[in-house]
Structure 1
Amino acid sequence: MQKQPDKAIQLSHGGGGQEMNKLIKSLFFKAFDNPLLCREEDAAALMLSGQCAFTTDAFTVSPLFFAGGNIGKLAIAGTVNDLAMMAAKPEYLAASFIIEEGFALADLRTIVESMAAELAVSGARIVCGDTKVVPRGCADGVFITTTGVGHIQHQGISSHALTAGDAVLISRDIGRHGAAILMGREGLELDSELTSDCATLWPAVKALLDAGLEIHAMRDATRGGLAAVLNEWSQASGVGIDVQEQAIPVADPVRGLCELYGFEPYDLANEGTFVIALPAHQAQQALTALQALPCCPDAAVIGQVSGANPGKVILTSPWGSSRYLELPAGELLPRIC
């Protein structure tokens, strides 16, 4: 009887022998094909010049597949976005997989192919990696760690560089990723097609850089959401930040989920949304550059940097009342990335 092809990951796929070699060649090398990776050395030999940004992140999102993406797309976008926020062109990535015995090979293939598709958005390449298989019950399907290197295209962008009078912009509506994960985890079915904002931000950052803007700070609003970014910036730069609640774009399904579960959209995670601080006289130019992109039609100016209330973020309601927008406390929604 002819042996049937493997349909699930076995411990032997991490053992360093024939099965592992076949998995790596037929899946990872095929999806991430490039000369540096396919040399099969112990380490990739890179040609680096100038100042580079270097970052790493681990991904344990649950569920692995969610509306708008999966753990693979998230792993690439998350690491590429960390580089982009430093105005670094993403170039080289490493990817490490911890896979649970019994994980469906078809699902792993879908994850890897989504990673390859997301890499194409920025032009980055996976040039090295590692694969481990652990016994059933020792992981939750698959965990991925990605590390990235990119060349910095514009100097001086930092959370310490905000200046009183800067405008604060958001690239799109907030809270989508956290809401999509909550919806998938709770099995909710809404009368809307809410999807995560999970996406690579390098094209949007490149558009801002190409416009010659004097960007002071950029940060993707991941765990802790918009509230975390603004509080981290105000404390790092020793400034106050005044934000207009009415100016912050929030999709109706996200707002509805927040009301249902008692969350604030400012605290929910995003995976394709970033915050920008730059001189106020360049705000309109930045909006024009962002709104020309399919991923940023809702880009908006949401506030300004102030010399008053250093280290604090003030949120003003549509009715004129104000309150502190605090740094989120506790674990709102675990394993969102």
Structure 2
Amino acid sequence: MEEIISMSYGNGGKKTSKLINELIVPKLKNDELKKLGDGALLNISNEIAFSTDSFVIYPYFFPGGDIGKLSVCGTVNDLLMCGSIPKYLSLSFILEEGFKIKELEVIINSIQKVAKKIGVKVVTGDTKVVDKGHGHGIYINTAGIGERIKGLQLGKHKIEIGDKIIVSGSVGNHGISILCKRENLLEQNILSDCAPLIDLIDILQEYKDDIKILRDPTRGGVATTLNEFVEDMKFSIELKEDKIPIDSDVKMAANLLGLDPLYSANEGKALIVVSRDACDELLEKLKEKQIFQNSEIIGEVVDYVESKVILEGKLGGKRILDKLSYDILPRIC
């Protein structure tokens, strides 16, 4: 195999077969993928969830991950937020002519590693090559299918006054990490939180009667995601600033750059709206898992104003957090 991707790797001929059979299939092998059909026949016994996402992040290698890891985590986490157990993924590459085969191999290794950890199978895919200068290296599309958790009904229509808001860890890491890496802004590496949230499954199953809605606060961050919960609703969400976990290096970088971590993207966190009665116990269960050890109750649902997200500061003052209205940083996922 050559050292770089040429246009002939995307023409469907010998080099395309070589790329698939010698690099992709051996690392992601399973009975369905090795058939190399135009699609996959899957066995799902329950109601399914379906999600798709495209990843154009730059740089495609970053502290804490790469575009391959991100592509799996992003779609798997979306399936989890639907209240489903991830089962199958499709995987499509758009490669730019001149992209290094060695870098592609590293990315595929990342995909294989995280998919194996989660227990999902890549069962179908596609590869295209575009002219040099038209692809910024590599883009990835993944689509996923999950099996719905029986009895778990999610939606903002279930939210009630007094419900609590839990975040599963420190916020803002991914967006700040990518900005610092892309622009070489700080000496220390701030790690992205890119991670699969697969450890949520048993909690979703145990507390399915108490969890109202889930969301991973990616683009637009925590503030924008919570605004989606309250849009056109009779209630609001009030957050306590001193309860929101933010890593010290993220806070320092955000202050230096004039950014708000509440609007910075996350790629390994969940926002959970849960009933008041179950919130303390659910939080304890979350904290037992290493990935969720920094989880906190950060606010609650209130009714003294409609359709707002309000932040109560450390000194008691309050301000409204609107949706993000501009691009802090494009191409973060």
- Pairwise TM-score range, normalised by the shorter structure: over 0.9
User: Which of 179, 183, 206 pairs up with 2:180?
Assistant: 183
- Deviation of 1:92 after TM superposition, in Å, equals 0.9
Q: What is the Cα-based RMSD across aligned positions, in Å? A: 1.3
1:125 aligns with 2:112: no
Letter in 2 for 1:170: V
- Deviation of 1:161 after TM superposition, in Å, equals 2.2
Partner of 1:174: 171
User: Which of 30, 49, 58 pairs up with 2:54?
Assistant: 58
- State the secondary structure of the residue aligned to 1:80: helix
Q: How does 1:102-141 map to 2 (within 5 A)?
A: 102-141=98-137
- Deviation of 1:38 after TM superposition, in Å, equals 0.7
Partner of 2:36: 40
In 2: Cα distance, 1:259 partner to 1:160 partner: 36
Q: 1:152-208 CA distances to partner (integer Å, 9 max, x unpaired)?
A: 1043112332111101000000000001101110113434x4200000012124334
In 2: Cα distance, 1:120 partner to 1:214 partner: 30
- Deviation of 1:210 after TM superposition, in Å, equals 3.5
Q: 1:37-78 CA distances to partner (integer Å, 9 max, x unpaired)?
A: 111111101122321110100000010000000000000000
Letter in 1 for 2:164: A
Give 5+ residue unaligned stretches, structure 1: none
Contact kept in structure 2, 1:55 and 1:82, CA below 8 Å: yes
Label 1:161 to 1:190 Cα distance change in 2 as closer, same or farther (>3 A). Answer: farther
Partner of 1:8: 4
In 2: Cα distance, 1:291 partner to 1:112 partner: 32
In 1: Cα distance, 2:234 partner to 2:85 partner: 29
In 2: Cα distance, 1:330 partner to 1:42 partner: 40
User: Which of 231, 235, 240 pairs up with 1:239?
Assistant: 235
In 2: Cα distance, 1:262 partner to 1:20 partner: 46
Using structure 1 for the length normalisation, give the TM-score. Answer: 0.96
Partner of 2:269: 273
Q: How does 1:1-337 map to 2 (within 5 A)?
A: 5-153=1-149, 154-191=151-188, 193-210=189-206, 214-235=210-231, 237-337=233-333
Range with greater deviation from structure 2 (204-213 or 256-265)? 204-213
Of all paired residues, the percent bearing the same amino acid is 37
Q: How many residues align?
A: 332
In 2: Cα distance, 1:296 partner to 1:84 partner: 15
- Deviation of 1:236 after TM superposition, in Å, equals 5.4
Q: 1:265-313 CA distances to partner (integer Å, 9 max, x unpaired)?
A: 1000000011000111111111111111111111000000112212101
Using structure 2 for the length normalisation, give the TM-score. Answer: 0.97
- State the secondary structure of the residue aligned to 2:105: helix
- State the secondary structure of the residue aligned to 2:268: coil
Give 5+ residue unaligned stretches, structure 2: none
Letter in 1 for 2:226: L
In 2: Cα distance, 1:128 partner to 1:91 partner: 13
Label 1:91 to 1:236 Cα distance change in 2 as closer, same or farther (>3 A). Answer: farther
In 1: Cα distance, 2:213 partner to 2:274 partner: 7
Label 1:236 to 1:41 Cα distance change in 2 as closer, same or farther (>3 A). Answer: farther
Label 1:18 to 1:236 Cα distance change in 2 as closer, same or farther (>3 A). Answer: farther
